[in-house]
Amino acid sequence: EKVTLLVLSNFKTTENQAHSTLVETLYRYRSDLEIIFNAIDTDHSGLISVEEFRAMWKLFSSHYNVHIDDSQVNKLANIMDLNKDGSIDFNEFLKAFYVVHRYEDLMKPDVTNLG
């Protein structure tokens, strides 16, 4: 039982450290993400409309020569629009980067158990 508690305690500490690192990373890049958000928000409403989001993806796909279907763009915008009001606010935009960062961390191979 003590071993289980120790393992759970270590896991919780590691989880808290990972969360702290993630928050620090997002905070560090917040100004960059804000610049990107404002560049996408062409009408300066403080919200990214589906049309603005689609225009950004068209620019991205032409620059990087990657085809992205409008239905895929709409689906992504809908996923990012957490409160389902038809637009993406800055907090929703930040949360999307948080989710991507968490997913990338989960996909990293565990190099501690090589042996």
Summarize pLDDT for 18-75 with one digit per residue, the tens. 556 656 666 678 888 899 999 999 999 999 999 999 999 988 888 888 888 889 999 9
- pTM equals 0.66
Q: Give the torsion through C-alpha atoms of 12, 18, 19, 25, to 10 deg.
A: 170
pLDDT at 115 over 90: no
Domain containing residue 44: 18-106
Q: What are the structure tokens assigned to 56, written together?
A: 């950004």
Residue 58 lies in a domain: yes
In-domain check, residue 82: yes
Please give the pLDDT value at position 18: 53
Residue 56 lies in a domain: yes
Which of residues 3 and 112 earns the better pLDDT score?
Answer: 112
How many folded domains does the chain comprise? 1
In a domain, 2, yes or no: no
CATH number at residue 79: 1.10.238.10
What does the alpha-carbon distance between residue 58 and residue 85 come to, in Å, rounded to a whole number? 23
Residues in the chain: 115
Does some domain include residue 13? Answer: no
The verdict on residue 29 lying in a domain is yes
